[in-house]
Chain A
Amino acid sequence: MQRCLREGKIHAILTEGMFENFYSGQSTFFELGVMLEKDFDFCGFTSLKFSGDKPNKLLWVDALFTIKPKELS
């Protein structure tokens, strides 16, 4: 993916970010966001999933990043 990013080939990324520590060695949303913000603009969340049994426990989010929002408007 590194070469694709370097070449500016990818114009938008819709990615899942996890808050719950479910997998060993997983990337959290904030780690992903900080990395992607170097090349992309953060547009917002497209979905949020809260735990059903624990109040205010955020499990995961989907977030949209775009590289050239002006071109698409």
Chain B
Amino acid sequence: MNSVWSSIANTVASMKNFLSSSIFEFYRKMLVIHLNLGRKWDNSLFAFILLILRDEKSYIRKLQRMARNNHDVSTLIVIVGVHHGETTIQYLEKIPNSIVIGFEPNEDSFEVAKLNLQRFGNRVKLLNKAVGKYQGTGRLNLFSDSGMDSLLPSVKTEAQYVHAIEITTLDFELRNYQRVDLLQIDCQGY
């Protein structure tokens, strides 16, 4: 009988521990459980359960509301890894007083992004640089899919080209700005 109570107490303690951990820990455990379930659980169902709690859209709505309340203050969005400007366009269209500072080290992608974003005029400042830990030059590994370009070398496939690029730091580039409303980092594992 004691062992039954002991196992109940242990279960309650572990549930309490599970629920009282941070949200990040909760998600982490959910992921670990999911990945251990193998084929028994459908990926799309799991993704739906996780994404139901997502905050991206509500955050954009909050940014929009904040933008309406502060006509005199621009909403500053910094994007590291603009690629062709796909998400930059979304931000600029959905948040009218937003301005974007974007970094894209790949010259070809940078030119495409410049074309795609030219209609937004001076609301966009594009820099043909990578963001890193230091200011200087570095080597960008270029892959067949330009969305995979990275300062880091791949362990799976050889880079098609290695291109010399300029590297800057966020501390330097943002030194004259008081506030960044959103920093989006999509730079392939770096």
Verify if B35 is at the interface (C-beta below 8 Å from A).
yes
Select which of B43, B59, B169 is within 8 A of A64 by beta carbon: B59
Cα separation A15 to B187 with both chains bound (whole Å): 9
Q: Using CB atoms and an 8 Å cutoff, list the residues of chain B in contact with chain A.
A: 22-24, 27-28, 31, 34-35, 37-39, 41, 43, 47, 50-51, 53-56, 59, 62-63, 66, 131, 148, 150, 152-156, 169-171, 174, 177-190
Q: Separation in Å of the B141 CB from the closest CB of chain A?
A: 8
7 CB < 8 A contacts A-B: A3-B171, A15-B185, A22-B189, A24-B154, A26-B188, A55-B43, A66-B59
Chain B binding site: helix, strand, loop or mixed by DSSP?
mixed
Select which of B37, B63, B152, B179 is within 8 A of A23 by beta carbon: B152
Whether the pair A64, B55 counts as a contact (CB closer than 8 A) is yes
Select which of A11, A23, A33, A46 is within 8 A of B55 by beta carbon: A46
Nearest to B50 among chain A residues (CB) is: A45
Nearest to A46 among chain B residues (CB) is: B56
By a CB distance below 8 angstroms, the chain B residues around A64 are 54-56, 59
Q: Contacts A1-B170, A22-B154, A48-B51 known; A14 to B43 CB distance under 8 Å? A: no
Q: Contacts A45-B51, A50-B47 known; A37 to B24 CB distance under 8 Å? A: yes
Q: Contacts A15-B185, A46-B54 known; A22 to B156 CB distance under 8 Å? A: yes
CB-contacts of A49-73 with B (<8 A): 50, 55-56, 58, 62, 64, 66, 72-73
